[in-house]
Homo-oligomer: A and B are copies of this chain.
């Protein structure tokens, strides 16, 4: 059973604060090991990759076999069923259409001083996408990471994926093919991140690395940050459902369980203005937990971190939602659009009872890589902007320099940066003399 909270209870604030602060992730300290792996890959390149792959993935490769060839991909994806292929195609098309709208505009204008100003967006030249192996090897994540990169215009997109004992998920390869990935390597762990950041004989270095991974991968990404760009370090998944009593308790129970089944550290919270409805959902969860394939995982998550919170009204629900700043927020209420205007801190919002969060994981269109652990207060899900950068542009005319240059001279002097000021003065002297 989850925690039951009620904003009318005198100890609510303490209980809610404890819920917000619950430490869900136990990150092992693997930093020293990861530092050693990165140094090894920098020093020995492919030789280190081969050795580490033999050690961690029980796979003996020659350097020439590090890359998964087009023929390898062709062979593997031949196994994929037509239904799965069609589903991936539909998902890819919808993700591509959504992200294409995110492309930002360049700008240029001339202001009253005569200065021409603006900015220009351009794509990162090369990006690397880490794809986990084994159970967490999700084709949907390949689409969600690779498509924004390609929409942004990244010319070279390399995927690394560990293949423990030589096993690989054909759907991952098909997703990479559909998304337009340019290179795939059978390497994983911190060694893959090191290879993408620093390059080896076989793998050319990239400028940006994205994608989920275990503690070793996360630690490696933190370490190479600065040398390359990285995406956020994702924590365990979370969902907050705000639902009134006019909902099917079983549907809401399944939505809560669709996060809980990811991970014992996942968190599912229901906020409702009807205590009886909250109890009904909790009962529906117990019923589903009797048969769900991943009931062991989902049950632990629900017991340790699940919560059902009863509020006085939906304004109170919105206020609590903003304090939680959830990764996923479902609004199953009569007027979800109105409520969504009050829930401003959330990674993704799913409106109405026909929009289960799982739609967003696969086929909705928006990205499923979203800010966790309350970071929706200050960050956003993955988008094409993560694969673009902006260059600002300025061009002064002699008149523009005459108009605004003197203010720069004053400020340079006040900051004791003489050469800054002189670089303006020398030009103004020539123009005015």
Which A residues are closer than 8 A to B by beta carbons? Answer: 83-84, 86-88, 90-91, 94, 97-98, 101-102, 104, 107, 109, 111, 115-117, 119-120, 122, 124-125, 135, 138-140, 171, 207-208, 226, 228-229, 233, 248, 250-251, 254-255, 257-258, 260-262, 288, 292-294, 298, 336-337, 340, 344-367, 371, 373, 375-381, 383, 385, 389-398, 400-401, 404-408, 410-412, 414-424, 426-427, 430-431
Q: A91-B411, A125-B377, A250-B426 are in contact. List 18 more A-B contacts (CB 8 A).
A: A84-B414, A117-B366, A124-B377, A125-B345, A248-B426, A251-B423, A255-B423, A349-B391, A354-B398, A355-B401, A356-B423, A359-B394, A360-B394, A362-B408, A364-B394, A365-B394, A379-B389, A381-B390
Given contacts A261-B418, A358-B420, A418-B293, contact A86 B391 (CB under 8 A): no
Q: Tell me the complex Cα distance, A416–B353, Å.
A: 24
Kindly state the separation between the CA atoms of A171 and B416 in the bound complex, as whole angstroms.
Answer: 13
Chain B residues with CB under 8 A of A207: 377-378
Is there contact, CB below 8 Å, between B298 and A87? no
C-alpha spacing A393/B370, complex, angstroms = 13
Q: What are 30 inter-chain pairs, A to B, with CB distance below 8 A?
A: A87-B407, A104-B104, A117-B366, A122-B344, A135-B416, A140-B415, A207-B378, A226-B373, A229-B379, A250-B426, A255-B423, A257-B422, A257-B423, A258-B417, A261-B417, A298-B419, A337-B395, A340-B393, A350-B395, A352-B395, A352-B396, A354-B397, A354-B400, A355-B396, A359-B394, A359-B404, A359-B424, A362-B411, A376-B391, A378-B389
Distance of A34 from chain B, by nearest CB (Å): 16
Task: Enumerate chain B residues within 8 angstroms of A381, measured Cβ to Cβ.
Answer: 390, 392
Complex partner residue of A407 from B86, B116, B416, CB under 8 angstroms? B86
A294-B348 in contact (CB<8A): no
Complex Cα spacing A228 to B419, Å: 37
Question: Within the complex, which residue of B97, B117, B423 is in contact with A358, where a contact is CB–CB below 8 Å?
Answer: B423
